[in-house]
Structure 1
């Protein structure tokens, strides 16, 4: 950590020297921003009065008097009028096309009961052709205000859903993305039937579960890798729909002040789409893509040709995403001890650990960062073990690997210091604590929650940065909500008083850094973005109020007033 700060400081000093040299040459600014609170996330000068740009690069950051030396009649002036500006926010872990498709398909994120889901599907059936698939995402049974009468292992059954959609196959993904809910028509198409009398079932899947009731009947819930039994029958999207989803995702990022996005797990079709969008000049976001680890052929191809680091800083592919366990909400997270509310159940290892080690070795040898999804304490430990084995085997290649664990949600206390010791970056979505903590204690029990869940401050104090985000569309892509969760450790309703496990809160400075400079560091991009420093890219987020000083109770009233991407205003509130 000290070395990283030293590097940051050295880069900042160099940029300031360059700034002074440029000033003497009387370079001209294309944009001048002033008149508000400007937090740079630069240790040399944390707050400045004004920022001058030359096209898409920061030309000067400092006093207004000095900045005005770069102004001409052609300079675009932006008066913040007391608002607050920070470096452009970076979504450190999300699913970009999932964000776009969530706006095209049924969005169930805000449903508060099973009946609301049934009603939403019934409404969709009215305009759907017979046999047309109805898909959606976002439901979460632990967030419902009332529970249905018939439940199996804490989940609803398909009967009510099937009754309103007899002629349309329906598949609704859980908010976590680690489970799904199918109606009878979808299961009929997939051939999912009652468990045979002999007890054998060809539809059981290693690393997944087809949930059944006491009579052996499928309930409609498909957990982890069992989801594929249904999803393989859903028709593929069209190119037109893909482009529309992409455009909607870009617009959603701009509305939320997001200028960079770490896309956690993409395949060859999505990569081809992104390349096309860049060619068509529609890439108005900086995407850092992680190759999906499910496609071994894809990985082999990229190992052969090596990382793609875009000189235009728009589309970079230099990492691999591995999905190693499930989610806590669906009881798929892989635990060292059984679930408190489902005795004998430990969750799922959704990817062989030997493949994690193999991929880690390949990553070091071929120049790819490895990013492994792990929520449960056993999954985190097993991945740290495999990373460590790879680092030990190839020590000369492991000096600046920046391998990551995505989520790192529940850790055994013994494994918390290992992140800093191994240089493994935890990419943690603070909003998950706000959404999950009220019911997560039922899954893990009080001791495991207090000793190892959402351990932000413990990890930061050990000397490793945290990459923040929302895991959109698992959660809404609202950085204000995640910032609030980071510093308050409360639900979005403001409970409990003082926050859950308050010793693990982030400071506001830490929270802002986790969304900017540390997120950039997590993608090897701290030298081009993440702080308002001369020479870096001109990406900024402007808020309606000072989120660094406003009372905690008013933080959620913060809105995005403007987003500046690549030196251009791409979003203004109210327009």
Structure 2
């Protein structure tokens, strides 16, 4: 249930015989190591936070204990208090669904993953389809894509659909291929690829739009399944200290579901939802105009566009061929010739456009189309974003600033990709890859997220990756491409104030100044005092949304 506003209103008879209102005293959290980012001053510290009616009254030192003697006092026991963290690029309902599926993220081989699938199927015999997520052939000894035959050895009677860790490829068994009618004669769909063996037979891996050949057969979402997914995801996100998520690409059905949940007061997590540009009902959704609830729990004023695929599956659209696959340039999920009309449609309706672009070609196409759309329909002030901005040519990076484009980036992608990015694109193109400091130093706003469930949700993994560019083992020793590391202050800003700015919400979220929502967390270690290599071990102890404890 949504937090209950912290005002107790009682009727009382005034001295004049009239009816008056008596309001509860504010709440005061003290004995904390508080940190937040102020727009001009930067990092600011405090030891006391006071809030009432779900919003911050002020933060400061122990003098506030005397200023608010009647306040309900909560002892923070010396723990660190931070603004609630925002994940600026995640997929809430997909996360909830994945938490209810087989997770093969930790598998050490295709055979092990197939065995996990079989065990899950045995434990859940009521499911017609076995679905799951998380495989990554790059981490397996042979680094080869898996095959349907490997799944068939452990499960052949039920269809299987497993998304890769980046959600840009799917691994299916022969039963799924049969049900979808995919065989040697099936053509690759536009923006997708069916991997094939030397004889032209499908191997069982489907890239990008080819996944739709099978995914359309999966059981449809219902209100009951959406409720379960949302509640499961929200509980998980809040437990990790995330109080707001920019949900990157929702359907019309999901948008209506969110509106219903908001109207019923059932949202426990703030959602900044992006409408999926691929939804057939996009025009109708745009005609509805932007939506924002009075308590800022749900905002719908942006669109998620789909550019290219992912680097790991060689689907990212590149200007030059892949270094490890000559003559292959990746692919565009949305056809290049359709982009101008799409950009003008979204901007023309006054919606922010958040465009997925990983490869340098996709990023250039996004920048080109923003520039042209500004000339034709305007909209430069809408704070448009490029989601991921992973590989950008050095000459295109300044265009982000010139075109007022926000770089919505995920620090954990760098540490996940560092074991293969060099192989994919070579040393020269790495100069513009995961280039956080290049963006920050030119004044580009950087909003940070995780892209869950592609990556694990934990935001402290993101802070750690941003500051160290190392994995949890401290590798590589000096960090991968260390010149692009963020400072901890920059990273915290990207997960709080600048993430709020990227959602047009910096006036109500992002730090704990007067009048903003009292969204905050208490964590078990002082992130500004512990060694950077320990940042990922930080745990959220309490999570508060609008002055109400959620954990």
**TM-score (ref. length: structure 2):** 0.93
Aligned to 2:344: 361
Contact 1:92–1:469 under 8 Å retained in 2: yes
Partner of 1:517: 497
Q: Which runs of 5+ in 2 are unaligned?
A: 1-22
The answer to whether the aligner puts 1:240 opposite 2:219 as a matched pair is no
Query: How many residues get paired?
Result: 528
**1:480 to 2:480 alignment:** no
2:298 counterpart residue number = 315
1:131 touches 1:167 (CA, 8 Å); kept in 2? Answer: no
Q: Which residues in structure 2 correspond to 1:7-406 (within 5 Å)?
A: 29-42=25-38, 43-44=40-41, 46-72=44-70, 75-129=71-125, 132-144=128-140, 146-147=141-142, 154-193=144-183, 195=184, 201-296=185-280, 298-395=281-378, 397-398=379-380, 400-406=381-387
Contact 2:252–2:285, Cα closer than 8 Å, also in 1: no
CA RMSD of aligned residues (A): 1.7
SS in 1 for 2:446: coil
SS of aligned partner of 1:156: coil
Match of 1:543 in 2: 523
Q: Is the 8 A contact 1:130 1:167 kept in 2?
A: no
Question: Structure 1 CA distance, aligned partners of 2:25 and 2:447?
Answer: 32
The Cα offsets for residues 369-390 of structure 1, whole Å up to 9 and x where unpaired, read as: 0000000000000110000111
CA distance in 2, matches of 1:52, 1:547: 22
Is 1:563 aligned to 2:546, yes or no? no
In terms of fraction of residues, the more helix-rich structure is 1
Match in the other structure for 1:410: 391
Shift of 1:77: 2.0
CA distance, structure 2, for counterparts of residue 128 and residue 252 of structure 1: 22
Structure 1 residues 283-319: Cα deviation after superposition (integer angstroms, max 9, x where no partner)? 00110000001124x2211222211122220111000
Q: Residues 233-274 of structure 1, C-alpha deviation per residue, up to 9 Å, x if partnerless?
A: 112133322211110111011111000000000001111221
Alignment correspondent of 1:491: 471
Deviation at 1:170, TM superposition (A): 0.4
Instruction: Give the CA deviation at 1:126.
Output: 1.9
> Does the aligned pair in 2 maintain the 1:28–1:70 contact within 8 Å?
no
Residue 8 of structure 1: aligned partner: none
Q: Where in structure 1 do 4 or more consecutive aligned residues deviate above 3 Å?
A: 127-131
Residue 506, structure 1, aligned to residue 486, structure 2: yes
Is 1:446 aligned with 2:427? yes
Instruction: State how far apart, in whole Å, the 1-side matches of 2:419 and 2:271 are.
Output: 33
Q: TM-score when scaled to structure 1?
A: 0.89
TM-fit CA distance, 1:429: 0.2
| Residues 29 and 141 of structure 1, relative CA distance in 2, 3 Å threshold | farther
Q: 1:131–1:169: 8 Å Cα contact kept in structure 2?
A: no
Give yes or no for contact 1:380–1:408 (8 Å, CA) kept in 2. Answer: yes
> Which range is displaced more, 350-359 or 535-544?
350-359
Q: Cα 1:272–1:305, aligned 2, differ >3 Å: closer, same or farther?
A: closer
